[in-house]
Structure 1
Amino acid sequence: MSRGERLGLVAANGRGKTSLLRIIAGEEEPTQGSVTTARSARIARVPQDVPEPLLPLTAQEAVLQALHPELQEMESWRAEIAVDDIGLPEEARQHPLSALSGGWQRMVLLARAGVVEPDLILLDEPTNHLDLSRIAALEAWLAALPRGTGVIAASHDRAFLDSVTSRTLFLRPEGSRSYPLPYTAARAALDEADAAEGRRFDNDMRRAAQLRRQAAKLKNIGINSGSDLLVTKTKQLTERAERMEEAARPAHREAGAGAIRLDHGAAHAKALVTLDEAEVTAPDGRLLYRTPKLWLERGDRVVLLGPNGAGKSRLMAMIEAALAGPVPGVQVAASARPGIARQDLAQIAHATAWEAVKAADMPDARARAALAGAGLPPDLQTAPLSRLSGGQRARLAMLLLRLARPTLYLLDEPTNHLDIEGQEALEGELSAEGAAALIVSHDRAFVEAVATRTWSIEGKRLVERDDPAPVLDALSRG
């Protein structure tokens, strides 16, 4: 990697992106091979979550701690400027990191990385927990880095990768590929290379089969005629076929990450959800906004957009509550069978993936196969959920949705932690005829792929917009 390069690191869940970043940062040793960095290079890694020792600290204290102890007293101003650069509100600066939102915690981790003036910054899923305005702030922060500062971003956010990277590395168990292009263009080049490789494999296998047929014919002739020369020729052709088959490599297929299949049931009611001047309030009773009369019908995929704190999850909670009893201004059809995915994956209430799937009254063999299909090998199926990565928990959540056979999906940030393969599979399943969904998401590529309707929280009102793009643009500008 050259000085100042911006590299996107792309791989399915569980393929070692985080481990690779830790190895580059010098926090872990590789199991084989080596990593060489410039002798004087300063490397800063931004993890997915705040390390526990930092949680009691304020933002400025956490950033200051990143400096060498000998510099902390004399150059504390650097920490103050770094916190200013991320735009943290004054009132939030007095609170410990544990009291800040996930988005602000992530921005503080960025400030910690930047304050040491690194030569290389390693970002691990940097857009998780960020709304569109904070993603735009992150992109601006990266653009403002000195030209010689390199960045490696391990991310599943396709729009973010397109915006900030100039090279893409696709990690694979064998034959990882790198392209001097941002994600979308690099993905097209990768797909073309995979297709060409697939054609070569098919051709090689056809040629090997042809050699084997020729060898079989010569063998029969040689046996009937007693010709040692033909027997030798038969052996040579067979060996050539074997070498060709051994050398042939099938086209790469992402296997093991698990397929997502949302097996939705049939809804008989035309309007699954009806909103009629519903008042959405904050936990303290403060009015956030009112809804007009709106319907969510079979086949609708409604994306609910708005800034963080506007009340998107509050409306989702009201609809969920209306499934169990009356909620003023919200009606849910009796035939609606919900499939709920919360942002924190709290719907997974069991100790292990095995217990979660068995709760669906599934035979053991089918349960094992379903978990394997979701990318969970046998050793993780009965392991505590804490051993699962965020991506593996997200795939388990999608599997539990499928088993519920919902007619109405309530999905809050469903692509958080899902790898790109999983995101694309989810897009395809949600786009299947008959799926009805209300979705909260800050993933622009996902929103533009699945939305058939857009609800936007604007001031104290919920309004319907024809196109999500202008709303997404406005949210990105903050």
Structure 2
Amino acid sequence: MTLITIRNLGVTLNAPLFSRLNLVVNAGDRIGLVAANGRGKSTLLRCIAGSMEPGEGEITRSRGLTIGHVEQDVPSALMDRPFDTVVLEALPVERRASESWRVGFVLESLEVPEALRRRPLKQLSGGWQRIAMLARVAVTEANLLLLDEPTNHLDLARIVRLENWLNALPRDMPVIISSHDRAFLDATTNRTVFLRPEQSQMFSLPYTRARAALGEIDASDQRRYQRDAKAAQQLRQQAARLNNIGVNSGSDLLLQKTRQLKSRAERLEDAAKPAHLERSAGTIKLANRGTHAKVLIALDDAAVAAPHGRLLFKTGKQFVCKGDRIVLLGPNGAGKSRLVAMLRQAIENPEAVQAGIKVTQSLALGYCGQDLADLADADTPMHTIVSRFDVGDQRARALLAGAGLSVAMQGHPIGRLSGGQKARLGMLLLRLAQPNFYLLDEPTNHLDIEGQEALEDELLEHQASCLLVSHDRNFVRAIGNRFWLIEKRQLVELEGPEHLFASIGAAG
């Protein structure tokens, strides 16, 4: 059964986001929507939801279709309301009294603790705020779900629970998911749309297999283009030789043949389409200053506590050595970010002695926090660069342009940048700091798949020493060579992450 038909859809904002897009959404479709940051995923979802009009084309929705749309950001008007009230108010006013039971049912299915249900959203973590937005959609019993980056701010356990919740929906319930979480897309989708300015590609496959199929198509297109371009060049060379002979001999027949060869070359060149090249959202480059020290950080049963003093865990005896890429694992609230903050303070302020933490003097820190709080919203990218580093205006502009920030963006307040643009600015600051040790707290939160893979490549190529927090399973698998887990108020080392991933999946 067809619920949505999209014909020749196009949207242009400064540059074309997508054009001539044709897509049919049927009952049971679980569609993954993939593109770089700023390439139209959220825009397409808004068009499907009816909250935005496309520039061209049309969308036909089946009669009586109700659409549940979870956008990336929580509306500010909801932040002061209690969790359960926010969910109840998603129902029409006339249904709230008689169907308030639905709220409890949905919150149970999403495993929301009773203690959180009466608390205002502004007092909750970003992860619980995301769950609240999902619950608002679930309680309405919509016929089609549109989820825009649903895993943002969720820890691994909640990501797996969300996967299980989606997979437990009625089989005929269609869902369209915009996400940069590759493992999540593989677990929840059966179709993949790669959104492009021209000729978006679609596959009846989950992400990883679709990505491989897309690579084969792009490689074939590139070979065809090179073959056609070579054939056109040969035709022009033949035409040039015949033209010379024709002119010297005065042969009208040869001159006519020359014109025919040129015409064939022109038709071939006009028809030849170069393979799609993904327009980068901005390059990510890192640096590694190097250090002669073998042991970078020694932990001797350091106590990690919450801001109000409650003990979260103790580290035991642990060492961070040169070349280690340590992934710190554990649920939200376990103390991962607290340990990162303690290590940061110990490196940046060695005179402020912290019990149980010893840092080598040669450490030069590169830090990136999950909320990018080191970037002041009122500041501009240009001022941020020139005030922190001695690079000069011209070099700063070139660096920012390479990171995906146009000259116009460079003068705008950072608060007006997208999450992806802020993340790339943060990565540029890391590079310019020339660190020899990286502390990265959820570095992939705002990076698209291209950015995640670039960060993976840079960390591996530079053999960077780092300690990082991430709930992205693909990123953890690609980067980590050591794995620490916060468990039962202790820091324990795992041989690898797979057993933990499997146990979370089984528990979920």
Higher relative contact order at CA 8 Å, sep ≥6: structure 1 or structure 2?
1
Does 2:446 correspond to 1:417?
yes
Which of these residues, 78, 81, 101, is aligned with residue 54 of structure 1? 78
Per-residue CA deviations over 1:158-196 (Å, capped at 9, x if unaligned) read 000000000000001111100000000000000011111
Distance 1:8 1:408 in 2: 36
Per-residue CA deviations over 1:75-125 (Å, capped at 9, x if unaligned) read 111122222221111111121011111111111111110111111100000
Q: Which residue of 1 aligns with 2:418?
A: 389
Q: Which residue of 2 aligns with 1:177?
A: 201
- 3-state DSSP class of the match of 1:24? helix
Distance 1:475 1:141 in 2: 14
Q: Which residue of 2 aligns with 1:32?
A: 56
Distance 2:155 2:203 in 1: 29
Segment drifting more, 5-14 vs 79-88: 79-88
Q: Which residue of 2 aligns with 1:76?
A: 100
Q: Is the 8 A contact 1:119 1:148 kept in 2?
A: no
- 3-state DSSP class of the match of 1:256? coil
Does 2:132 correspond to 1:108?
yes
Residue 298 of structure 1: how far off its partner (Å) = 2.0
Distance 1:132 1:180 in 2: 27
Q: Which residue of 1 aligns with 2:91?
A: 67
Distance 1:237 1:372 in 2: 43
Which of these residues, 459, 463, 470, is aligned with residue 430 of structure 1? 459
TM-score (norm 2): 0.92
- 3-state DSSP class of the match of 2:269? helix
Q: Which residue of 1 aligns with 2:153?
A: 129
Q: Which residue of 2 aligns with 1:341?
A: 368
Which of these residues, 196, 202, 209, is aligned with residue 233 of structure 2? 209
Does 2:328 correspond to 1:304?
yes
Specify the code of the residue in structure 2 equivalent to 1:56. Answer: D
Distance 2:312 2:85 in 1: 33
Distance 2:494 2:280 in 1: 39
Per-residue CA deviations over 1:19-62 (Å, capped at 9, x if unaligned) read 11111101111111122211211001011121111111112111
Q: Which residue of 2 aligns with 1:441?
A: 470
Does 2:272 correspond to 1:248?
yes
- 3-state DSSP class of the match of 1:455? strand
Q: Which residue of 2 aligns with 1:361?
A: 390
Does 2:342 correspond to 1:318?
yes
Distance 1:73 1:187 in 2: 47
Q: How many residues align?
A: 478
Specify the code of the residue in structure 1 equivalent to 2:386. Answer: K
Q: Unpaired segments of 5 or more residues in structure 2? A: 1-24
Segment drifting more, 356-365 vs 86-95: 356-365
Q: Is the 8 A contact 1:23 1:29 kept in 2?
A: yes
Specify the code of the residue in structure 2 equivalent to 1:114. Answer: A
Which of these residues, 367, 379, 393, is aligned with residue 408 of structure 2? 379
Distance 1:471 1:20 in 2: 36
Q: Which residue of 1 aligns with 2:319?
A: 295
Q: Is the 8 A contact 2:288 2:462 kept in 1?
A: no
Per-residue CA deviations over 1:361-387 (Å, capped at 9, x if unaligned) read 223332222222212222222112222
Higher normalized strand content (fraction of residues)? 2
Distance 1:183 1:153 in 2: 11
Q: Which residue of 1 aligns with 2:356?
A: 329
Cα root mean square deviation, aligned: 1.3
Q: Which residue of 2 aligns with 1:231?
A: 255
Specify the code of the residue in structure 2 equivalent to 1:330. Answer: I
Residue 254 of structure 1: how far off its partner (Å) = 1.4
TM-score (norm 1): 0.97
